[in-house]
Chains A and B, each alone.
Chain A
């Protein structure tokens, strides 16, 4: 028995293996033989065998169909038959019904469906149908297995799940629906059949209608579910986004956290997918799901109701007709009855008539007649009724037909309606799930990738990086501070000094030098940035220790002007070796450098900006440009821009590659404005442009822009990045508020705001006027409505003009920057509705950043609040009227055009009030870089104005001249003495003085140059180098003095040339000057302040003129500087820088100076001022101007010129009295110096008082 069975299985297997044609018979035989022995009922077995045979035939047919012609239809039909047979077998023989078999059958159908019949041809047939064959085999095999099991008797215990047949069929239906269009067979009616089926039903319409009703209810439920779900999802995605954003910012802050970038990515993914999801949801809510379905549902409802109505009407009609029929029937019957009665009575009458004869007969006859008539009438009526009945019947018949028709129509209508609705439902459902699928799929992908990358993480990696990084920085610091320690601690593995290395290292060391400088200058200017000091120390030693060649080369190319700052560090160069040692820390290992090492960076995560670089391994320790820590081991360097940073910093790097050497770090925040501005052709610092354009690009509508604070850490990072990478910084990574903060911070940290200290008072006065006008406007509006409006316009126009005048007095770079910023703010204000920042708000925020009084040591008092509001008001005014204020007329000309114009302008100037000019010139040359000061158009016009007023002023000047001269001389003396105290040779300084006094023009020239020449002297060693130049200068001056008019121009040029030559050498040492200068100036400042206090009387009325002249002068100055600049490009730069530095140094003097420029106006107002007043004034002012000059003088003997130059302006101012003034000066000089030192202490306080008072002075005037 067992052997039998095994044989059977074998056979079955063989049969199942696909060689059907040959094996079927054997299988049958096997079955037969088996059947004889079986325990089963022989009939059942017979049946089973028949079925199995049928099934195998079907399989065979299917195969044949595939092999022979391969028509899709044929194959599908065969498959269909096969499935049907299988199904019937399973129905009949429940024991064979198993999941495996169903699966196999389903697999087969799926495979058949999957075949693309259009592609089938002879060649690929086998390939294409391979799967089909294999699945046929599986089916056969499974069937065989089951059959075997069944026959072996263990089917009952079979673990296979037996499904109920009904479900089985269903599943097959599903399978086959698409493969073959046999819907009708499977129980799906064709539309007409549907209707017919329903028609047979009496209340079919009701059924259909109720179905429709349930459909719409159902859809309603579905829609509300989807809507609610979408809303929930939307809310949760919003929250997710918020959460992700918050987390991202928080995560970004921490460093060295494991899988940080991964999570950042995940968060980004989250945000992205959430956005996507939001879109999807929006789409679903709109045209993809909810709307169409709802629309369909509503339409359905409407139609359903209409149909219902119609149907009711029809039914009513039908009912009526039926009623009528009933009535007719009743009537008919009634009539019939009546007729019967009449008939019977007639019969009776007839009978009576017959029975009775004679006399009664007549009566009877009559009666009979009557009855007969009645009978006839009744008959007639019956007939009528019958007819009526017939009519009614036909009516009802018609109605019924009609009803039937309408019913059919309605059913058809309903059917189409339901079909349409189903169609829509299907479409939107597909939409819904498809979109959700897409969503989920993308999510799944990204999650998968995240998962994969998470697997790659090596636990503890970040921690070790972190430890390494902290180690390295600490080491470096130690190195920098304790050189000896460094020497001993150096790993022996590092090779000996390599001469080549120096060259390689150049950029790096230069960077350090730059940074040094920055730290130095930061120290000088005061605020913040102290942290860079530690590094400064370190690089100090390196820079000094490094080859002198490299130093000069680098710094020259990067920023020659800063070069001088290295000098002060020389003392620290005691341990020369340290620098070399440092360089060798990481020896250049050629094998590691270059593209070979590139692969190692691929793994590290990089920011967008970092991807722009071509990194290679770093060869020598330097500072990271991202975190500013020292890079030793984990460093990389860009091949193109030589940017260096930690590998870990690549993630956060925001500096993009400029494809040329990245300039060293600059000092941006808290640095002199002119220093930054000079690097830009239009004088607008790049930071302003970057930030403004970014904000205009994305944040104009952000509420509270510029008001809400940004993230401190991010802001700091951006500041650092901007100093390191300047315009190459990719600020798109930062939030708008951070960017705003950086911009505000920059403005706030400017040592002198855009609106210079010296113009503070004027601008604040203007603000007060604005306030006044505004108030008037208010009152007038209230009282007189708009009648006085024109007046107000005039007032405003007046203020506009005044503000223009004042703005003209700003140096071009300041003006341009202010203009740029105000225009930007105006754009912000234009979106005030969205961002809520109107000009008033911005005024409050930018007020103190753009205009503020000179800082004092005095404590801040409540009174400064008033100042704040005035500052705010002014800025508000500037923003509101930006278009009128910054119209074309105010445009400062650019440097190139202006040169020529200024040249022409040179001549007329001396004719005008020369003293002022000279002073102004000297001041200007001190204060501003040559490029920026030129407002030629204005200056020209001013010149002419001047010319006309000149005569008048001259008269006054003559009168005043003497006094002025005396004062100026005193001032000179003061200066000289200071110079002495500073251990300088006074003689040099004194000798030149007389010369300068001789001619205005010559002095002008001298003055212009002298400020620069002063710069050089500061550093002692340089002096020697420079010794050659001073004589030239003197010569130049002498020439100027002697030849007066003829040479008035030439000296200027000569001077410039001289300067250039000298400064190129000297400028390098300027850093030292600055410090010393500052000290000296501070002293002087005190002195000045003392005098200033006394000068309260001085009307500070209007510098307008004075200042404008100063502009002209500065223009001259620029010519000098720029012309030579062609041949000596670099020198000129250094000169400029020098002058700028000078200007910064001389700041404190500015307020004192200002009154001087006012002089002309005073003269016009007070024709004969008292001598004492003037003298006082002289004292104050003169010291002021000299003060700038003095420091250099003190430091430097050979440049007595310097000292001289300072007095020069003073003398120039006295020029009307020229010759006569001089002797007096000398005599007075002696007296003054004693006075000043005594008062130094109290001055600080008094200075404050003075400044306060100064504010009130104009009112007195």
Chain B
């Protein structure tokens, strides 16, 4: 059974933990506690192959930005989450992707761009097209999810697994992976 190390990144309060917990336990956490770091493990079946997801839910708050390098070093796939009701969180996501590329020294790191809180459609500040455009620029999948209403959550994690599979196949002797 393959293990996948997934890191969830994004600025503060965008719903990283909510997404992760929704995926792992199937419940929506109402509490509003900032994360320092949480680790989850879940077995799922993606494309009829069982896999184990090790999900690192990280701190969004700037104070812990120094830990990001470490997370990135340890991760294989990255879920970059922004809140589509907060334009700034969308802006913040860009340097994070740059950081991933910088740390991994590799362009094709499995990444998914995720706009969370799609249930708050009425308060939307980041349009779908903006998100899609950025994802296209990065050459990565794009999704709009809602941890609250469990929209696209399972799909998201399945997709990241696929991305990691995809990334591992073409160039197996990639130095990045051995480093991980």
Query: Is the CB–CB distance between B92 and A707 below 8 Å?
Result: no
- The docked-state distance in angstroms from the alpha carbon of A844 to that of B37 is 11
**Chain B residues with CB under 8 A of A860:** 66-67, 69-70
| With A242-B123, A709-B89, A837-B32 as contacts: A848 and B64 at CB distance below 8 Å | yes
- Closest residue of chain A to B74 (Cβ to Cβ) is A862
- Closest residue of chain B to A848 (Cβ to Cβ) is B63
A263 within 8 A of B: no
Q: Mark A854-885, 1 if CB is under 8 A from B, else 0.
A: 00000111101100110010000000000000
| With A709-B62, A709-B89, A868-B64 as contacts: A840 and B69 at CB distance below 8 Å | no
A390 within 8 A of B: no
**Chain B residues with CB under 8 A of A707:** 12-13, 32, 34, 61
- The docked-state distance in angstroms from the alpha carbon of A745 to that of B65 is 12
Query: Is the CB–CB distance between A869 and B67 below 8 Å?
Result: no
Q: Mark A1174-1216, 1 if CB is under 8 A from B, else 0.
A: 0000000000000000000000000000000000000000000
B151 within 8 A of A: no
Query: Is the CB–CB distance between B88 and A744 below 8 Å?
Result: no
- The docked-state distance in angstroms from the alpha carbon of A806 to that of B91 is 41
Q: Mark A684-718, 1 if CB is under 8 A from B, else 0.
A: 00000000000000000001100111111000000
| With A849-B63, A864-B67 as contacts: A841 and B89 at CB distance below 8 Å | no
**Chain B residues with CB under 8 A of A840:** 33
Listed A/B pairs (15) with beta-carbon separation below 8 Å: A242-B123, A703-B32, A709-B62, A709-B88, A712-B91, A712-B92, A737-B88, A744-B63, A748-B62, A841-B32, A844-B61, A860-B70, A865-B36, A865-B67, A868-B59
Query: Is the CB–CB distance between A744 and B62 below 8 Å?
Result: yes
B20 within 8 A of A: no
- The docked-state distance in angstroms from the alpha carbon of A246 to that of B59 is 27
Chain B interface residue count, CB cutoff 8 Å, equals 27
Chain B 81-127 interface residues, beta-carbon cutoff 8 Å to A? 86-89, 91-92, 123, 125
What distance in Å separates the Cβ of B63 from its nearest Cβ neighbour in chain A? 4
B22 within 8 A of A: no
- Closest residue of chain B to A250 (Cβ to Cβ) is B87
| With A860-B70, A864-B67 as contacts: A708 and B62 at CB distance below 8 Å | no
Chain A interface residue count, CB cutoff 8 Å, equals 35
- The docked-state distance in angstroms from the alpha carbon of A872 to that of B63 is 11
Query: Is the CB–CB distance between B32 and A836 below 8 Å?
Result: yes
Contact of B33 among A246, A249, A741, A844 (CB under 8 A): A844
Chain B 112-169 interface residues, beta-carbon cutoff 8 Å to A? 123, 125
A847 within 8 A of B: yes
- The docked-state distance in angstroms from the alpha carbon of A841 to that of B35 is 9
- Closest residue of chain A to B95 (Cβ to Cβ) is A712
B76 within 8 A of A: no
**Chain A residues with CB under 8 A of B88:** 709-712, 737
**Chain A residues with CB under 8 A of B70:** 859-862
Binding site for B on A (CB under 8 A): 242, 246, 249, 703-704, 707-712, 737, 741, 744-745, 748, 836-837, 840-841, 844-849, 859-862, 864-865, 868-869, 872
What distance in Å separates the Cβ of B17 from its nearest Cβ neighbour in chain A? 12
- The docked-state distance in angstroms from the alpha carbon of A841 to that of B36 is 10
9 smallest beta-carbon distances between A and B, as pairs: A836-B32, A848-B63, A844-B34, A708-B13, A709-B11, A704-B13, A707-B12, A868-B36, A707-B13
Binding site for A on B (CB under 8 A): 11-13, 32-37, 59-64, 66-67, 69-70, 86-89, 91-92, 123, 125
What distance in Å separates the Cβ of B75 from its nearest Cβ neighbour in chain A? 13
**Chain A residues with CB under 8 A of B67:** 860, 864-865, 868
- The docked-state distance in angstroms from the alpha carbon of A865 to that of B59 is 11
Query: Is the CB–CB distance between B36 and A844 below 8 Å?
Result: yes
- Closest residue of chain A to B61 (Cβ to Cβ) is A845
Chain A contact surface mostly: helix
Query: Is the CB–CB distance between A708 and B86 below 8 Å?
Result: yes
**Chain B residues with CB under 8 A of A836:** 32
Query: Is the CB–CB distance between A847 and B13 below 8 Å?
Result: no
What distance in Å separates the Cβ of A183 from its nearest Cβ neighbour in chain B? 52
Query: Is the CB–CB distance between A704 and B63 below 8 Å?
Result: no
- Closest residue of chain B to A845 (Cβ to Cβ) is B61
What distance in Å separates the Cβ of B119 from its nearest Cβ neighbour in chain A? 16
**Chain A residues with CB under 8 A of B35:** 844
- The docked-state distance in angstroms from the alpha carbon of A708 to that of B12 is 5
- Closest residue of chain B to A866 (Cβ to Cβ) is B36
Most buried by A among B13, B36, B60: B36
- The docked-state distance in angstroms from the alpha carbon of A703 to that of B36 is 19
- The docked-state distance in angstroms from the alpha carbon of A709 to that of B83 is 11
Query: Is the CB–CB distance between A869 and B62 below 8 Å?
Result: no
- The docked-state distance in angstroms from the alpha carbon of A710 to that of B88 is 7
What distance in Å separates the Cβ of A424 from its nearest Cβ neighbour in chain B? 35
What distance in Å separates the Cβ of A1005 from its nearest Cβ neighbour in chain B? 43
- The docked-state distance in angstroms from the alpha carbon of A840 to that of B66 is 21
- The docked-state distance in angstroms from the alpha carbon of A210 to that of B119 is 49
What distance in Å separates the Cβ of B14 from its nearest Cβ neighbour in chain A? 9
- Closest residue of chain A to B125 (Cβ to Cβ) is A246
What distance in Å separates the Cβ of B33 from its nearest Cβ neighbour in chain A? 6
**Chain A residues with CB under 8 A of B125:** 246
**Chain A residues with CB under 8 A of B61:** 707, 844-845
- The docked-state distance in angstroms from the alpha carbon of A26 to that of B36 is 105
Contact of B36 among A741, A837, A849, A869 (CB under 8 A): A869
- Closest residue of chain B to A832 (Cβ to Cβ) is B32
- The docked-state distance in angstroms from the alpha carbon of A1226 to that of B123 is 76
- The docked-state distance in angstroms from the alpha carbon of A593 to that of B66 is 52
Assuming A744-B63, A844-B36, A860-B69, what are 12 further A-B pairs, CB within 8 angstroms?
A249-B87, A707-B61, A709-B11, A709-B62, A710-B88, A748-B62, A748-B63, A836-B32, A840-B33, A841-B32, A846-B63, A865-B36
Query: Is the CB–CB distance between B36 and A845 below 8 Å?
Result: no
What distance in Å separates the Cβ of B32 from its nearest Cβ neighbour in chain A? 4
What distance in Å separates the Cβ of B56 from its nearest Cβ neighbour in chain A? 10
What distance in Å separates the Cβ of A85 from its nearest Cβ neighbour in chain B? 64
Query: Is the CB–CB distance between B33 and A841 below 8 Å?
Result: yes
**Chain A residues with CB under 8 A of B34:** 707, 841, 844-845
**Chain B residues with CB under 8 A of A846:** 63
| With A708-B12, A709-B11, A849-B63 as contacts: A246 and B32 at CB distance below 8 Å | no
- The docked-state distance in angstroms from the alpha carbon of A1226 to that of B160 is 69
**Chain A residues with CB under 8 A of B86:** 708-709
| With A246-B125, A712-B92 as contacts: A865 and B37 at CB distance below 8 Å | yes
**Chain B residues with CB under 8 A of A859:** 70
- The docked-state distance in angstroms from the alpha carbon of A249 to that of B87 is 10
What distance in Å separates the Cβ of B95 from its nearest Cβ neighbour in chain A? 9
**Chain A residues with CB under 8 A of B62:** 709, 741, 744-745, 748
**Chain B residues with CB under 8 A of A844:** 33-36, 59, 61
- Closest residue of chain A to B30 (Cβ to Cβ) is A836
What distance in Å separates the Cβ of B57 from its nearest Cβ neighbour in chain A? 12
**Chain B residues with CB under 8 A of A841:** 32-34
**Chain B residues with CB under 8 A of A869:** 36
- The docked-state distance in angstroms from the alpha carbon of A748 to that of B65 is 11
**Chain B residues with CB under 8 A of A708:** 12-13, 86, 89
- Closest residue of chain B to A867 (Cβ to Cβ) is B36
- Closest residue of chain B to A846 (Cβ to Cβ) is B63
- The docked-state distance in angstroms from the alpha carbon of A700 to that of B59 is 23
- The docked-state distance in angstroms from the alpha carbon of A845 to that of B13 is 12
What distance in Å separates the Cβ of A876 from its nearest Cβ neighbour in chain B? 11
**Chain B residues with CB under 8 A of A709:** 11-13, 60, 62, 86, 88-89, 92
**Chain A residues with CB under 8 A of B60:** 709
- The docked-state distance in angstroms from the alpha carbon of A841 to that of B91 is 24
What distance in Å separates the Cβ of B180 from its nearest Cβ neighbour in chain A? 15
**Chain A residues with CB under 8 A of B37:** 865, 868
- The docked-state distance in angstroms from the alpha carbon of A709 to that of B32 is 15
What distance in Å separates the Cβ of A236 from its nearest Cβ neighbour in chain B? 12
**Chain B residues with CB under 8 A of A849:** 63
- The docked-state distance in angstroms from the alpha carbon of A869 to that of B92 is 24
**Chain B residues with CB under 8 A of A861:** 70
Query: Is the CB–CB distance between A872 and B13 below 8 Å?
Result: no
What distance in Å separates the Cβ of A742 from its nearest Cβ neighbour in chain B? 12
